[in-house]
Structure 1
Amino acid sequence: MGTQYVDDHRFLLYKGSTVTDITEAVSSPEARDELSALSVELTFTAVRNNNRDKYMHWYNIQPGDKIRVVNHGAEVFSGVILTVGLDGTVTANDPGWYLTKSEIVLQVSNAAAADAVRRMCAKAGIPAGTIDLPPTRISEVWVGSTPEQILEDILDICSAETGQSYRRRVRNGALQVGPLPSVPIIAYHKPADNLGAFDITLAKGDVTGSDSMSELTNSVVLAEGGDTAKTLGRAYNAESIAKYGLLQAVETLSGDETTAQARQRVKNLLSQGDRLTRERTVEELWGADEVESGILLQFQPNSYGVTGVQRVTGVTHRYGHPHLMSLTVEAWPDSRAAGSNDTITV
């Protein structure tokens, strides 16, 4: 934790059973963690051979080698090296990357969401860790889909039923899935051994961002699945439609839902979609390893325009001396676009 020690990130290269600390050869290391992505990406540049300088040593880094980043023994990143450039640039991703590439065939019928995810993991050849999902029933067939696509479909159904959003990451060699955190944290950074730790949100660089209606949905239609084109219900916000125009989505039911479940689903979908996207990017924050996408971060009051509880939707860690970060955040909880006087018929 940032309150206990000064950051000392070490880069460990794994080639078979051989482990080598290559920290001294690593420059410009960055880890990019986006909530919308299934894996974290690490990039850095490693010093290559130089015939004129015997101290510039290349560690023969190759695609398929494993790389870990640790801070005082605690693992910060673990993944596989994907690309190595002739200029020494290296790109690695954590094991979630494999779930975005391989395609599988999966059929589930009236299965609990957690069970459907475990079956998907078995097909994809990755262990299932903690799968914290509601008892939502899933009936679906996927042919030639990636595990990432299947997981997104399952989580979309769960979100529509519960109104919650979910996070998925591969940690400790297994897929972990669960609701986004609902309790904010305060992150600290300790800049030197003789200085105390401080709240990272007290000092920040430039703040940029935008407010957008491009993802707004103010009407949701329920349709029957299969070969029919039967409309089963609708939820809409007349005030939002009057202000922003009709922006409609169609939700297809599997047939396993009760009327109450269908009503709750269309209600949740409208509530989730009928919102403006208000995104802010905060540059040059002091680094803290516990800041990752999905967490709620408490920002102290200041004159920078980003205060209170914010959901971190993206973070770039720049490991070095000092350890710095850039964050993309959204206010939490966010408000509806134009009132919440919804009309629901099912």
Structure 2
Amino acid sequence: MGSMYVDDHRFWRYPRGGGAGKDITQWVGAPESRDELEALSVELTFTALRNHLYDPYMPWPGLEPGDKLKVVNHGAEIFAGVVLSVGLDGSVTANDMGWYLTKSQIILQVSNAAAEDAIRQMCAKAGIPVGRLPSLPTRISEIWTGDTPEAILQDILSICAAETGKQYKRRVRGGALEVTELPEVPLAAYHKPADNLAAFDITLAKGTVSGSDSMTDLYNSVVLTSGGREAAVLGRGDNRASRDQYGLLQMVERLSGDENSAQARQRIRTLLDQHDRLTIERQVDELWGADEVESGVLLRFQANQFGVTGDQRVVSVTHRYGPTHLMSVTVQDPNQGRAAGGEDSVEV
């Protein structure tokens, strides 16, 4: 925990063919990790000193695509992944093991299966163990041909979110796929800058705040259709006040065929509640770093004039593991209101 010690991030390289790891921290410059809530894997970049191309006396740790990388802090694993590319200038890009689920393609057919069972079937096809899964009783009937496990998982969780109103995060940890509900309790994140200084709450000292308000992801009308070739319309819903203010922005959702009318009606209401909202994001730069801050967590900010107040959901975080551990976060208010007033009109 960041409140217990001063950060000491160490970088370890493991060769493709196996063998002992090597601490390459001394070769690593300007390391950053980028964690996006909507992404399945975390990206790590840095520049490795590679002057040996011009100076034969300059050593080189031998990084190559396919090598395994780990980042540890006082024995705690912060990142574990694979090197994807190495530039002549020493630039290195690596991703955690979730990257493999974004590349390989599989064929999967499920019929009236609980969503959690559909995920297990997907993992079996993809050759990856299943870790923690929440209860996902939503029924799934679908065929995927040549889709990536990431795309399939996103489809399944989108259907679950439309029914339950909950948000989910997916990651590969310890070699297994985990799906978790986003936390509702804010994280107390601390940073200890030096051995002789006490740890402090990182939200008390923040740098530049920027951001935007956008309607690009807003939908104020929902159409439910049946599966198959006919694609019959089974239900509609919209918010007239939002349509009058922002124009018609319609999304089409296809049902699997296992839902009753009450479930269809609830899905329309849930989709409108989720998507009939402006995207209001704020980026907070130059926060002191804390390894516990990852996408999906809630941070509690004191009142300020930039709208970054109270519990804020971290949707993106960049950690910079330099001599000083700093980070930038992009946050959204999880309790943000609807785009416009008025009642939702639903017909099934």
- The bucket for the TM-score relative to the shorter chain is over 0.9
- Deviation digits for residues 286-343 of structure 1 (CA, Å, limit 9, x no counterpart): 0000000011111123344411110000000000221000111101211111125111
TM-score norm. by structure 1 comes to 0.97
Structure 1 residues 200 and 109: alpha-carbon distance in aligned structure 2, compared to 1, 3 A threshold: same
* C-alpha RMSD of matched pairs (Å): 1.2
Consecutive unaligned residues of structure 1, counting only runs of 5 or more, are: none
- Deviation digits for residues 259-298 of structure 1 (CA, Å, limit 9, x no counterpart): 1111111110111010000011111110000000011111
- Deviation digits for residues 148-191 of structure 1 (CA, Å, limit 9, x no counterpart): 11001000100011011110000111000021111111211000
- Deviation digits for residues 53-89 of structure 1 (CA, Å, limit 9, x no counterpart): 84x3201111111000000000000000010111111
- Contact 1:133 1:177 survives alignment (8 Å): no
**Aligned match of 1:28:** 30
**Aligned match of 1:40:** 42
Q: For the residues of structure 2 that align with 1:81 and 1:230, how far apart are their CA atoms?
A: 47
**Aligned match of 1:158:** 160
- Contact 1:133 1:179 survives alignment (8 Å): no
**Aligned match of 2:11:** 11
**Aligned match of 1:262:** 264
Q: For the residues of structure 2 that align with 1:340 and 1:5, how far apart are their CA atoms?
A: 51
Q: What is the one-letter code of the residue matched to 2:8?
A: D
Q: For the residues of structure 2 that align with 1:305 and 1:276, how far apart are their CA atoms?
A: 14
Q: For the residues of structure 1 that align with 2:302 and 2:129, how far apart are their CA atoms?
A: 40
Aligned residues: 345
Which sits farther off after the overlay, 86-95 or 302-311? Answer: 302-311
In the TM superposition, what is the alpha-carbon distance from 1:229 to its structure 2 partner? 3.8
- Contact 2:240 2:342 survives alignment (8 Å): no
**Aligned match of 1:187:** 189
Q: For the residues of structure 2 that align with 1:27 and 1:227, how far apart are their CA atoms?
A: 55
Q: For the residues of structure 2 that align with 1:267 and 1:332, how far apart are their CA atoms?
A: 18
Consecutive unaligned residues of structure 2, counting only runs of 5 or more, are: none
Q: For the residues of structure 2 that align with 1:206 and 1:133, how far apart are their CA atoms?
A: 40
Aligned residues: percent identity? 67
Q: For the residues of structure 1 that align with 2:230 and 2:21, how far apart are their CA atoms?
A: 59
Structure 1 residues 197 and 302: alpha-carbon distance in aligned structure 2, compared to 1, 3 A threshold: farther
SS at match of 1:131: coil
Q: What is the one-letter code of the residue matched to 1:132?
A: P
Q: For the residues of structure 2 that align with 1:224 and 1:114, how far apart are their CA atoms?
A: 22
**Aligned match of 1:107:** 109
Q: Which of structure 1's runs of 4+ aligned residues deviate more than 3 A?
A: 49-54, 302-305
**Aligned match of 1:148:** 150
> Which of these residues, 203, 206, 221, is aligned with residue 205 of structure 2?
203
Q: For the residues of structure 2 that align with 1:280 and 1:324, how far apart are their CA atoms?
A: 17
TM-score norm. by structure 2 comes to 0.97
